[in-house]
Structure 1
Amino acid sequence: MASPLARGAESTDTGASRVVVPAGLRIPPAESMAPVWEEEIATAAPRPAFWLLGAHGGACVSSLARTWAPSGDSRRGWPAADRYRNVVIVARTHRAGLQSAHELLLQATAGLSGDCTLLGLLTVPDADGSLPATLRRQLEIVESAAPRVWRLPYLAHYRSLTYEQMPVWSPTDPPPPPKSKLRRTDPTAYPDPALAEVGAEIFDAARLAAARQAP
C-alpha cells in the first residue's frame, strides 16, 4: 500500500468496505495516514460544525479549537462516525509539518478518510517573518492538493496568553472593534480579526458542505 500506483485503478481494504483508489495516485504509507475513528468522538452538545485535524503534534489545534466555538479537535484522526464530518487539516509551515499535511491530503484524495468531507488546509506560521524560498515552494505544492486553503498570520500577542485567556469567537458574535481601537482593548476580550475572519470562512464552508450532505 505504500508504493505509488502506476496504472489502472486499484482497491484497498478499509475494514468493512473496499475503496477504489484513482489510477496513478500515490497512497501514503500506513504510518503516515491518520486513523479513521469508528466511534463518535464528540462528547457534548452542540456538536462541532467542523473538525480540526492536526497533521502533526504542535500544529496549534488545541488553541484553535478553543478560539473557534463551532470547531472541535479530531484527536489526530478522521471523525467518520460523528454527526458532522467536515474536516480542516491544520499544519505548521515548517518542512515536517507541510510534509505531514501533504500525506493527509493524499489520504483524503484516495478516499481513505471514511465518510468525511475535507474542507481544506489551514497553515499556521511556525515563526515570524517570510518563509524561505524552499518552504514557499513546498507550501504551494501542498496547497495545490487541497480543495481550499487558509493561511493564518503570525500572531505574536497570543504568545503571552494562557489557554484559558484566549478569547472565543462564535458565528453570532458582533464584528470586532476597528483595529485602532482593538489595539487599546484587553487582548482577552476579542479574538484577533484574522482568526475571526478565517473562522467565519471555515464555518460558512462547513454549512455549505452540510447542506450538500443532507438527504
Structure 2
Amino acid sequence: MTDHDNTVAAPMPPDVVAWPREWRCDPLTSGHDLPPLFALVGASGGVGTTTLARMWGPAADSDTRWPANPETTQWCVLVARLSMAGIDDAAARLRGDAGPDGLDVFGIVWTPPRPGRIPKEVNRYAATIGELVDHCWWVPWIEELMLARRDAIAPWLPTSPLPDKKHSNLAAGPPLTVCTTGADIVATVTTRYRH
C-alpha cells in the first residue's frame, strides 16, 4: 500500500464548480512562443499528441482532456491510433463525451500503430467514424522518431518553407508529410473561423 492509498479528498466548498475530469481548465500554450491556434486531444493516452504538438508550432497538447478555458483555443483535432481499438476510442470520445461550451472538434488525425500497411478493414472503420467530423488527416509512421528526443525536434511554423521530400533531419523540422498536414489543419482552422 502506498501513501496515496491513505489520502482523503478534502471537501469542496459549495461555491466551487466541479469540472468533469475529461476537461482541461488551465489555459493552453503551444510551447513555441505562439498562441495556440488549435488543440490536439488524444482519444486515449499514447497516441502522439505531445509529439505532434512539438512538430506543429501552432498546436497545443491537451493530453486526453477537452480544452475548457475560454481564454485559449477550444478548436480541437482528436488524435487516435489507426487500429480497431484506437478507432473505438475515437468513436467513444466523439459520441459519448460531454464537452465544454465553445468546444469544436472539427477533425481527426489518425496515427499509425506501426510501420507498414494498415488492413483494409481498419481503413474502412476509420472512414466510417471519420464521418462524425468534418476533416480527417493521416500521419505516416516516422522511423526517425524512434531515436529522437522531443526537445531535439524543430517545429514546423506557418511561416516556414516546406522541406523537400527527402528531408529526414528532425532537428531541422518535421518531414514534408507532417508539415503539409499541419499546413492543411492551419488552413482549415483559419477558413473555418474567419470572421
TM-score per shorter chain, which class?
0.7 to 0.9
Residues 126 and 134 of structure 1: CA distance in aligned 2, closer, same or farther (over 3 Å): same
- 2:163 is the counterpart of 1:211: no
Q: 1:94 — aligned with what?
A: 83
Q: Structure 2: which 5+ residue stretches go unaligned?
A: 1-16
Rounded Cα–Cα distance in structure 2 between residues aligned with 1:122 and 1:50: 13
Q: State the match for 2:135 in structure 1.
A: 148
Residue number in structure 2 paired with 1:13: none
Count of residue pairs brought into register by the alignment: 174
Q: Which residue of 2 aligns with 1:121?
A: 108
1:196 aligns with 2:179: yes
Which of 45, 50, 71 is the equivalent residue of 1:62?
Answer: 50
Q: What amino acid is the match of 2:81? A: R
Relative to 1, partners in 2 of residues 1:195 and 1:156: Cα closer, same or farther, differing over 3 Å? same
What is the RMSD of the two structures over their aligned residues, measured on CA atoms? 2.3
Distance 1:174 1:107 in 2: 39
Determine the C-alpha separation between the residues in 2 that align with 1:58 and 1:73. Answer: 12
Q: Say if 1:59 and 1:91, in contact at 8 Å, map to a contact too.
A: yes
Q: CA deviation at 1:40?
A: 3.4
Counterpart residue number, 1:106: 95
Please say if 1:52 is aligned against 2:45: no
Match of 1:84?
73
CA distance in 1, matches of 2:34, 2:155: 15
Distance 1:187 1:55 in 2: 25
Task: Name the residue aligned to 2:153.
Answer: 166
CA distance in 1, matches of 2:155, 2:170: 11
Q: What secondary structure is seen at the aligned counterpart in 1 of 2:137?
A: strand
* Structure 1 contact 121–149 (Cα < 8 Å) conserved: yes
- 1:11 is matched with which residue? none
Given the superposition, is the C-alpha separation of residues 102 and 94 from structure 1 closer, same or farther in structure 2, using an over 3 Å criterion?
A: same
Are residues 170 and 99 of structure 1, via their aligned partners in 2, closer, same or farther at CA, if it must alter by over 3 Å?
same
1:113 Cα offset (Å): 4.3
| Counterpart code for 1:205 | T
Paired with 1:132 and 1:174, the residues of 2 have a C-alpha distance of 34
Structure 1 residue runs of 4 or more that deviate by more than 4 Å after TM superposition = none
Shift of residue 168, structure 1, vs aligned partner: 0.9
Question: How far does the alpha carbon of each residue in 1:66-99 deviate from its partner, in whole angstroms, 9 at most, with x for none?
Answer: 1111100113111132432110000111222111
- Structure 1's 131 and 87: CA in aligned 2 closer, same or farther, altered over 3 A? same
- Contact 1:36–1:113 under 8 Å retained in 2: yes
Distance 1:76 1:106 in 2: 15
Inter-partner Cα distance in structure 2 for 1:135 and 1:203: 27
Partner Cα distance (1:119, 1:102) in 2: 14
Q: Distance in 1 between matches of 2:176 and 2:140?
A: 11
TM-score of the two chains, using structure 2 as the length reference: 0.79
Partner of 2:8 in structure 1?
Answer: none
Q: Which runs of 5+ in 1 are unaligned?
A: 1-15, 17-32
Letter in 2 for 1:71: A
Residues 50 and 70 in structure 1, CA contact (< 8 A), matched pair in contact too: yes
